[in-house]
Structure 1
Amino acid sequence: MYPYILGKVPQYLEILKHWCFPDGVTIYNENFQKINVLLQAILLEKQIIIVSSNPNEIINICEAIFTLIYPLKWVCIYIPSLPLQCTETLSATTPFIIGISKILDFQRIQINFQL
């Protein structure tokens, strides 16, 4: 099972911000498809990795995700900012939402993802 990796966090943040806190902003079809994929991953309890160079954006996107699924609650692993020393957590078989700094060198991390 491969985790879902969310790149371009500012784009997703804007989408979720407007969708979770509607203020008359129209959701376009392509944006809705991205939200739909994210929502499916959450409801199916998949592994989700959020990547950004700004740690505040990671926390904001996670909070927007939790607002999106309200009244449901995410009871699986949630680590908004994964330290470099704990990268083995990414090879966990349980569902998770983990935020990773874009600065983190993915080449140095060896992860065994199962098909």
Structure 2
Amino acid sequence: MRDYSNIPVMDWNEDKAPKRAKAQILHQEPVILQMPDDFDTSLDGEDFDCRIEENGNMLLECNGSEIVQHLAAKNHLPGLETIAKACFQSSSQVDIDTDKKRIIVHD
């Protein structure tokens, strides 16, 4: 299990969260996006080159731009497309915590 305790958490519902998260990502800094409770994280991790944790609650080391873009469309959150572009520019990977509705962006 990875240790995410030293990574800053941004609440997606805060006004400046997308811009702040984009800046973090473009500076190659990890960030956790805490998504709303109704955020749909159901997807097939294999479609995004994810490693799936044994209990199935975590998708690890996914293709960042592709999975975030998919989640943006699935949840009708165009602001997430900004994050997807930043992940592409920085070649970031993403972990998805399906239980806690978190998107963890890292290198």
Q: TM-score, normalised by structure 1?
A: 0.37
Structure number with the higher helix fraction is 1
User: TM-score, length-normalised on structure 2?
Assistant: 0.39
Larger Rg: 1
Question: Would you tell me which structure has more strand in proportion to its own residues?
Answer: 2
